[in-house]
Chain A
């Protein structure tokens, strides 16, 4: 009995600590600026969605959302296609000079270095290519980062699949490539899902490169657009909290929907 009460108390404490800050943002977003700063109420006394409507009508949040979706989908799909093939080559073939291992290692090193380290030269590159403030500039950057991640993840998934299955398919007349496509790829599907989910979350949430590479609603993504609000009007808590809720909502819903795969993707690598 005592143990059960203790357990319930711990769970309540953890849930409270996690949810209370989020509650405060949601609650603030439903108040008027006057109620927020002058009355400082603990919950909205006259809840309204005005702050949200304001974001769409005055602050271009529709375009931010659209930009985010396009950039995320394109860069994740391209990276997954390229990265899966690359990972398969690294997992299954031995190349001259141990090339496949060297490539795998280089990609890992590129993953370890904090992205901020190459922010400046990527900015200079996009400046030279005239790709600042475009979808394409962001898609290129995110695709490259996602590839380093996809190759690393997918390689370990392919290694788990026994080679004999592909061999059997080739004995039955499959080409080397169709053995990959028909046998290995479907078997690696759970891994592919975990990789895709993780890449979607990281890409949708990315801020640093969006900050440096975009400047107008033409290409700004959701996190980037939210940040403009903070810079310009320091104490417009109403807009800021609504923007926060709006910015987080798509990715939180997505994550909760794909929870099972997500946990697998997050914890793998560390445990194995």
Chain B
């Protein structure tokens, strides 16, 4: 439906009397609950971020000092850096694998329904349990890698004890959990593409690779972009998995910014500082989302 037709439809439906109050009545429950449980706390969090807390209670107004402190906090900067590395590596791998798999499944064949059913499992399993699954296979004493290595006559596998391996192990977990979502979105996108250009290309004698580069890729660009943006935003807030799998260790190798903020608040009781940290993270994510939307629109128009 076009925007104009929609607007006309709305005007035609706007009745009189009690009906005039109807939209407000319909919106009221949602708006009140969200105001009370999300918006008010958001405002409260902004206020808390300007206070100095000792043992969980505010003792002083310190303006923007919490925010200034973030700039010079090496642990915060490290956690941000770990998060950025984690997000970009995971999302990149998921996009490539998901896209490849979607292209592979585009033509109907036997077994595809089974494949799709099985691929649902990783993304609906409780994230905490996903982390348990991976702790179990990585464990140096009880793990699957150790069991396999011992069955082949080797020694224990060392994964979560080593900074690089632990980081890659966390990325592998995320790839295992979320590649299926990429796959489903991109497959739905591929299936929605018009068929005529591909047929024309085939008539003109273009090979599979040419029609992929010249047709599939450009036509899929908006959907690819949206899928990447959604996944990036989501991955930025990753918490459960890393909390259970490594709790940030070894050292700070896998300490994502969400975990650092959580520990700052609930372990070290620096509530005001943690609030400032999360306000900053929220603004970074929003800015990213806004920039992405702008970019998508400008791509759409050209």
Which residues 229-272 of A sit at the B interface, judged by CB distance below 8 A? 230, 235, 237, 240-241, 243-244, 247-248, 251-252, 255-256, 259, 262-263, 266-267, 270-271
Q: Give Cα distance in the complex from A175 to B25, angstroms.
A: 15
Judge whether B129 and A223 touch: CB under 8 Å: yes
Judge whether A115 and B237 touch: CB under 8 Å: yes
B67 at the interface (CB under 8 A from A): no
Q: Which bucket holds chain A's interface residue count?
A: 35 or more
B205 at the interface (CB under 8 A from A): no
Q: Is chain B's interface secondary structure helix, strand, loop, or mixed overall?
A: helix
Minimum C-beta distance from A133 to chain B (A):
14
A112 at the interface (CB under 8 A from B): yes
Judge whether A205 and B127 touch: CB under 8 Å: yes
Q: Is chain A's interface secondary structure helix, strand, loop, or mixed overall?
A: helix
The stretch from A44-52, A55-63, A116-124, A188-196 touching chain B is A116-124
The stretch from B71-79, B109-117, B209-217 touching chain A is B109-117
Judge whether B13 and A21 touch: CB under 8 Å: no
Which residues 114-165 of B sit at the A interface, judged by CB distance below 8 A? 114-129, 132-137, 139, 141-142, 144, 146-148, 150-151
B20-42 CB contact bits vs A (8 Å, 1 = yes)? 00111011011101101111111
A199 at the interface (CB under 8 A from B): no
Judge whether A113 and B282 touch: CB under 8 Å: yes
Q: Give Cα distance in the complex from A244 to B144, angstroms.
A: 16
What is the size, in residues, of chain B's interface with A at 8 Å between Cβ atoms?
A: 103
Which residues 232-265 of B sit at the A interface, judged by CB distance below 8 A? 233-234, 236-237, 239-240, 243-244, 258, 261-262, 265
Judge whether A247 and B136 touch: CB under 8 Å: no
Minimum C-beta distance from B62 to chain A (A):
17
Q: Do A18 and B34 form a contact, CB below 8 Å, given A114-B285, A271-B188?
A: no
Q: Which residue of A lies closest to B134 (CB)?
A: A21
Contacts of A175 in B (CB 8 A): 19
Contacts of A113 in B (CB 8 A): 282, 285-286
Minimum C-beta distance from B186 to chain A (A):
9
The stretch from B88-96, B195-203, B222-230 touching chain A is B222-230
Q: Give Cα distance in the complex from A248 to B223, angstroms.
A: 31
Q: Which residue of B lies closest to A15 (CB)?
A: B118
Judge whether A166 and B13 touch: CB under 8 Å: yes
Judge whether B258 and A94 touch: CB under 8 Å: no
Judge whether A36 and B262 touch: CB under 8 Å: no
Q: Give the number of residue pairs across the A-B interface with Cβ within 8 Å.
A: 300
Judge whether A40 and B142 touch: CB under 8 Å: yes
Q: Do A86 and B181 form a contact, CB below 8 Å, given A116-B262, A176-B15?
A: no
Judge whether B223 and A114 touch: CB under 8 Å: no
A19 at the interface (CB under 8 A from B): yes
Judge whether B27 and A90 touch: CB under 8 Å: yes
B70 at the interface (CB under 8 A from A): no
A5 at the interface (CB under 8 A from B): no
Judge whether B23 and A100 touch: CB under 8 Å: yes
Q: Which residue of B lies closest to A110 (CB)?
A: B38
CB < 8 Å neighbour of B26 from A85, A222, A237: A85
CB < 8 Å neighbour of A244 from B7, B9, B133: B133
Q: Give Cα distance in the complex from A141 to B128, angstroms.
A: 19
Judge whether A24 and B133 touch: CB under 8 Å: yes
CB < 8 Å neighbour of A259 from B1, B120, B271: B120
Judge whether B185 and A271 touch: CB under 8 Å: yes
Q: Give Cα distance in the complex from A238 to B83, angstroms.
A: 32
CB < 8 Å neighbour of B239 from A110, A205, A208, A259: A208
Minimum C-beta distance from B56 to chain A (A):
9
Judge whether A251 and B120 touch: CB under 8 Å: no
Which residue numbers of B lie inside 8 Å of A, CB to CB?
1, 6-7, 9-15, 19, 22-24, 26-27, 29-31, 33-34, 36-45, 48, 101, 104, 109, 111, 114-129, 132-137, 139, 141-142, 144, 146-148, 150-151, 176, 180-181, 184-185, 187-189, 192, 223, 226-227, 230, 233-234, 236-237, 239-240, 243-244, 258, 261-262, 265-266, 271, 274-275, 278-279, 281-282, 285-286, 289
The 9 closest A-B pairs by CB, nearest first: A114-B237, A121-B41, A86-B30, A163-B9, A144-B37, A121-B45, A93-B23, A244-B132, A117-B282
Given contacts A24-B136, A110-B38, 4 further A-B contacts (CB under 8 A): A18-B119, A94-B10, A124-B271, A267-B185
**Can you list 17 contacts pairing A with B, beta carbon distance less than 8 Å?**
A14-B119, A15-B114, A19-B118, A28-B142, A83-B30, A85-B27, A89-B24, A93-B22, A95-B23, A114-B281, A116-B262, A116-B281, A125-B37, A144-B36, A170-B15, A235-B142, A270-B185
